[in-house]
């Protein structure tokens, strides 16, 4: 007898609980009750960063491009990045399309850091132009300076062997595995050794900017190839 | 992102400067870059609407019309713009592709027109962007299906033409499948329909209670037991007809095994078997019980109506194609029934004198509640039971309402497809008739022109002006071409039909008229060929020749030269363009023999011989 009573009572309770939960859920769906503190601020984060470059005349003065070249460059830039800035992801994508055979993400990362001079995580058009101006129209000194800046990952003014190794590995990664003849595993390391032997004059294990520039200026090949990418625009 | 790559190329090349100090070997020299002219604005005029864009934009895709030097063909030096005589609305999409790198598909345009524009501008349809790709593919598939249906309908025609030597079997089968082809088939069709109806009605009426003639007490018998003989006779007659029909179909079927396995034949068998089983089974008491069950199957005769009604067939086909939705409905219902029945049983267990004696007993309550029938023979009395009962009825409505729209839309789609096919077949005939009329108009113009002596070389200016009433430049050129064709074959003005005196001509004309009438149609046919219509005029010519031998005669004698020119014939097959069969009377130099050949030829060969003769 008691069991029967318990059974029906129990079921009754269960039924009532089910109804209450269902109605609560219904009210929540209708928006009359809020359970969790879902912040509305999520909406604001979606707003994209918009960036407008400085005036054309200013850019012309700052860089070595003519007005027309700046116009062409900006039109292409704006078409690709309507928001006005390039983030690291886009950089990596672009580079991977140019060098599809290997993995260019590491090198793109270093490149991004080199372009992003104010280190705000985004390359705006001004940064873009500044970099291009140096690389395409700058003096040999400026170019070498820029290259040193690229290799110096932590921007402390010295290139260590580890930094160089990272850069070298990134470049070899870009080549991919399908090279002929097949590159050996320690090819980057050997390359670094060669580099340091050439550049490190006082054999202190690091290369400073002066050592770098001096050694490069003595090398015929490097000097000649500096002229390669002159008229890119 | 080809557009993007072009933009970023300077950047990538510049960044290569970073490799320079590390290079162990000298780097290759840069390719000679021609002096860039800087960017300029191009004007593209499409049917009057001017689009202006940077040259760089168009250069992004060098393997298209606008991106390559092909656009120079459309350059108008006077106005300094590129002129295209195409649809400006579509061009908008094409140009946007260059600008944004994504090709969008316009929703309100015909997909065929869009495809043609793409083909013109050198864009591959695979370039359609992801956002529009699915819709584009769907619409294209739909279009292709519709065109395929068109072609099928055209080829199928209204009943395939039977080869003359078809056997009785084939004719019988055709009569069964398409009752509209002959009167006998139609009669048979209606008779079977009538008997199906009679049989079904008899089955139904059998069970109605009739009042006994002697008015004995209040005992009422069903009519079947009051008039057993009458019903038995009617049943026998129906079954005989059905059996006969089934055997005939079995005999006529091209593939007996397939016929035996088809649904309709199974229904036929199920419809007539009970009767025979009833005959064979002796009137035992224990067996007759089982025999009564068999009577139920007589009702399946009503399915035989599906041969007569297309709607029924569509319904059946729909249900078959919605099998998965129906299956899902059934499965979810079963789940829900079991759950709710269990709950209701345990909820109502405590009550005494309850109807919910077991879970299967609760099934009945659940089904009745979920389908919102609510008979009321089983009702919960506890509070818990009532709560769960109400949840059960609410959920029942939802579960049942879900798959129904799917089934409905399926049915509607199939039904409309069928309607469309029928409509198109009806319209096709009208359309073709109209086209034929238009074409014959053109050819009549040519013949008229010839009759008016337009082909006379010695026509003076005024005469010619008279003849040239309202012929466009195109028509002039066209007629001139046909004239040239005729003149290509060597003709003596009367070499063949010099003895074209009426008597012989009449005799010949009867035979000739075969070819003449079909020849004048033949030149029409020639023109038709030129216009690309492949239709056999043989039947037409044969009927018309009987109708108007005089006309052809007149034609023969008046414009004798011209007709002769046409009939000049096949003599030198070498002269004629070699499109006719080589087996044609090529060797025969004698026109007469050729003509005889042609007239003796079978009707189907007429068009071919006619072609030869007109050449």
Choose from B60-64, B372-376, B602-606 the range with maximum mean pLDDT: B372-376
CB B102 within 8 A of CB B92: no
pLDDT for residue A133 is more than 80: yes
pLDDT of residue B508: 47
| Per-residue confidence band for B296, with pLDDT thresholds at 50, 70 and 90 | confident
Domains, chain A, with CATH or none: 53-137 (1.10.238.10), 139-232 (1.10.238.10)
Of B364, B359, B334, B345, which Cα lies nearest the Cα of A11? B345
| Per-residue confidence band for A124, with pLDDT thresholds at 50, 70 and 90 | confident
pLDDT for residue B362 is more than 50: yes
The token pair that represents B330 in the structure block: 């059934």
CB B44 within 8 A of CB B51: yes
Mutate one of B9, B12, B22, B58 to test the A interface: name it (highest A CB count within 10 A). Answer: B22
CB B563 within 8 A of CB B486: no
* Average pLDDT of the segment spanning B531-536: 41
Three-class SS of residue A86? Answer: strand
pLDDT of residue B608: 40
**Pairing, β B41-46 against β B81-84:** parallel
pLDDT for residue B515 is more than 80: no
Distance from CA of A224 to the nearest CA of B (A): 8
Partner-chain contact A15 B10, CB within 8 Å: no
pLDDT for residue B567 is more than 60: no
- The H-or-E segment that residue B384 falls in is helix B383-401
CB A36 within 8 A of CB A30: no
Partner-chain contact B13 A147, CB within 8 Å: no
pLDDT for residue B601 is more than 50: no
pLDDT for residue B368 is more than 50: yes
B10 at interface of A, judged by CB pairs closer than 8 A: yes
* Average pLDDT of the segment spanning B34-40: 62
Nearest Cβ partner for B346 among A7, A19, A76: A7
Three-class SS of residue B451? Answer: helix
pLDDT for residue B349 is more than 70: yes
pLDDT of residue B340: 93
Greater confidence (B596 vs A24) lies with A24
Contacts with B21 from chain A: Cβ below 8 Å: 144, 147, 212, 216, 222
- Weakest-pLDDT range from A35-44, B9-18, B400-409: A35-44
Contact partners, residue B413, CB within 8 Å, separation at least 6: none
| Per-residue confidence band for B405, with pLDDT thresholds at 50, 70 and 90 | confident
Q: pTM of this prediction?
A: 0.51
B297 at interface of A, judged by CB pairs closer than 8 A: no
Contacts with A222 from chain B: Cβ below 8 Å: 20-21, 23
Mutate one of B21, B39, B339, B346 to test the A interface: name it (highest A CB count within 10 A). Answer: B21
Sign of the Cα pseudo-torsion (B416, B417, B419, B423, in order): positive
* φ and ψ of A7, to 5 deg: -60, -55
Q: Which residue of B has its CA nearest to A136?
A: B14
* Average pLDDT of the segment spanning B142-148: 79
CA–CA separation, A95 and B14 (whole Å): 12
Nearest Cβ partner for B21 among A16, A75, A216: A216
CA–CA separation, B393 and B77 (whole Å): 79
Q: Which residues of B199-222 are buried (b: 16+ CB within 10 A; e: fewer)?
A: bbebbeebeeeeeeeeeeeeeeee
Greater confidence (B507 vs B80) lies with B80
Distance from CA of A38 to the nearest CA of B (A): 31
Q: What angle do helix axes B228-252 and B263-280 make, rounded to 10 degrees?
A: 140
Q: Which residue of B has its CA nearest to A20?
A: B387
Greater confidence (B613 vs B258) lies with B258
Residue where the block lists tokens 């529009």: B132
What average pLDDT does chain B have?
74
| Per-residue confidence band for B328, with pLDDT thresholds at 50, 70 and 90 | confident
Q: Which residues pair with B544 in a beta bridge?
A: none
Q: Which residue of B has its CA nearest to A192?
A: B22
* Average pLDDT of the segment spanning A70-87: 83
CA–CA separation, B259 and A197 (whole Å): 91
Q: Using a pLDDT cut of 70, give the percent of chain B over it.
A: 68
Contacts with A140 from chain B: Cβ below 8 Å: none
* Average pLDDT of the segment spanning B276-288: 72
pLDDT for residue B155 is more than 60: yes
Partner-chain contact B8 A79, CB within 8 Å: no
Greater confidence (A68 vs B469) lies with A68
Contact partners, residue A95, CB within 8 Å, separation at least 6: A104, A105, A107, A108, A111, B12
* Average pLDDT of the segment spanning B93-116: 89
pLDDT of residue B375: 94
pLDDT for B415-454, tens place per residue?
Answer: 888 888 788 878 888 888 898 898 888 777 778 777 776 5
């Amino acid at each position: 007898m008691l069991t029967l009573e318990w059974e029906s009572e129990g079921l009754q309770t269960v039924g009532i609980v089910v109804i209450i939960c269902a109605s609560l859920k219904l009210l929540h769906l209708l928006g009359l009750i809020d359970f969790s503190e879902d912040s509305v601020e999520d909406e604001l984060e979606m707003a994209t960063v918009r960036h407008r470059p400085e005036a054309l005349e200013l850019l012309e003065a700052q860089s070595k491009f003519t007005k027309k070249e700046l116009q062409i460059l900006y039109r292409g830039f704006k078409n690709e990045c309507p928001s006005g800035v390039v983030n690291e992801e886009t950089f990596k994508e672009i580079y991977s399309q140019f060098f599809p055979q290997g993995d260019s993400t590491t090198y793109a990362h270093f490149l991004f850091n080199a372009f992003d001079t104010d280190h705000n995580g985004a390359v705006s058009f001004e940064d873009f132009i500044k970099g291009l101006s140096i690389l395409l129209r700058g003096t040999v000194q400026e170019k070498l300076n820029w290259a040193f800046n690229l290799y110096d990952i932590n921007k402390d003014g010295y290139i260590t062997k580890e930094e160089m190794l990272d850069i070298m590995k990134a470049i070899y990664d870009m080549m991919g595995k399908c090279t002929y003849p097949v590159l050996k595993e320690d090819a980057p390391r050997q390359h670094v050794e060669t580099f340091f032997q050439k550049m490190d004059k006082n054999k202190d294990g690091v290369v400073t900017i002066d050592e770098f520039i001096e050694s490069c200026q003595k090398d015929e090949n490097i000097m000649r190839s500096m002229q390669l990418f002159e008229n890119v625009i | 992102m080809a557009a993007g790559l072009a933009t970023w190329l300077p950047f990538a090349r510049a960044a290569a400067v970073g490799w320079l100090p590390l290079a162990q070997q000298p780097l290759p020299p840069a390719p000679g870059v021609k002096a860039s002219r800087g960017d300029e604005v191009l004007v593209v005029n499409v049917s009057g609407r001017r689009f202006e864009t940077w040259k760089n934009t168009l250069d992004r895709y060098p393997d298209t019309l606008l991106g390559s030097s092909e656009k120079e063909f459309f350059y108008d030096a006077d106005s300094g713009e590129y002129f295209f005589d195409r649809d400006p609305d579509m061009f908008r999409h094409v140009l946007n592709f260059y600008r944004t790198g994504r090709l969008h598909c316009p929703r309100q345009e015909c997909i065929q027109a869009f495809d043609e524009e793409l083909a013109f501008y050198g864009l591959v349809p695979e370039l359609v962007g992801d956002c529009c790709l699915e819709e584009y593919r769907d619409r294209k598939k739909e279009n292709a299906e519709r065109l395929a249906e068109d072609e099928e309908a055209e080829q199928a025609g209204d009943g395939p033409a039977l080869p003359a030597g078809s056997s009785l079997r084939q004719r019988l089968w055709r009569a069964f499948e398409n009752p509209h082809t002959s009167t006998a088939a139609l009669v048979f069709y209606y008779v079977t329909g009538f008997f199906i109806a009679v049989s079904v009605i008899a089955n139904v009426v059998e069970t109605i209670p009739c009042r006994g003639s002697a008015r004995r007490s209040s005992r009422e018998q069903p009519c079947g037991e009051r008039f057993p003989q009458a019903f038995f006779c009617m049943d026998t007659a129906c079954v005989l007809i059905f059996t006969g029909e089934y055997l005939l179909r079995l005999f006529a079927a091209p593939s007996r095994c397939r016929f035996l396995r088809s649904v309709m034949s199974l229904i036929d068998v199920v419809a007539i078997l009970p009767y025979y089983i009833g005959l064979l089974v002796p009137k035992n008491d224990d067996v007759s019980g089982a025999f009564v069950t068999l009577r139920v199957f007589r009702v399946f005769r009503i399915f035989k109506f599906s041969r007569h009604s297309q709607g029924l067939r569509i319904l059946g086909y729909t249900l078959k194609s919605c099998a998965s939705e129906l299956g899902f409905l059934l499965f979810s219902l079963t789940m829900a029934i079991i759950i709710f029945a269990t709950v209701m049983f345990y909820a109502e267990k405590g009550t005494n004198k309850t109807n919910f004696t077991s879970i299967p007993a609760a099934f009945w309550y659940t089904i009745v509640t979920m389908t919102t029938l609510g008979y009321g023979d089983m009702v919960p009395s506890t509070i818990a039971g009532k709560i769960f009962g109400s949840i059960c009825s609410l959920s029942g409505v939802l579960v049942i309402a879900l798959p129904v729209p799917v089934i409905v839309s399926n049915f509607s789609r199939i039904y409309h497809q069928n309607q469309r096919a029928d409509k198109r077949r009806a319209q096709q005939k009208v359309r073709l008739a109209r086209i034929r009329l238009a074409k014959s108009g053109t050819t009549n113009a040519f013949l008229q022109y010839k009759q008016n002596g337009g082909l006379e070389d010695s026509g003076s200016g005024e005469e010619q002006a008279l003849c040239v009433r309202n012929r466009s430049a195109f028509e002039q050129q066209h007629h001139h071409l046909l004239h040239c064709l005729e003149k290509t074959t060597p003709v003596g003005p009367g070499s063949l039909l010099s003895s074209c005196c009426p008597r012989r001509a009449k005799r010949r004309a009867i035979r000739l008229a075969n070819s003449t009438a079909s020849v004048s149609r033949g030149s029409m046919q020639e023109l038709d060929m030129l216009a690309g219509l492949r239709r056999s005029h043989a039947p037409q010519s044969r009927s018309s020749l009987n109708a108007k031998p005089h006309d052809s005669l007149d034609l023969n004698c008046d414009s004798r030269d011209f007709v002769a020119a046409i009939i000049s014939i096949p003599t030198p097959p070498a002269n004629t363009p070699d499109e006719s069969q080589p087996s044609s009377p090529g060797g025969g130099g004698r026109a007469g023999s050729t003509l005889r050949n042609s007239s003796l030829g079978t009707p189907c060969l007429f068009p071919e011989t006619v072609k030869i003769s007109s050449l």
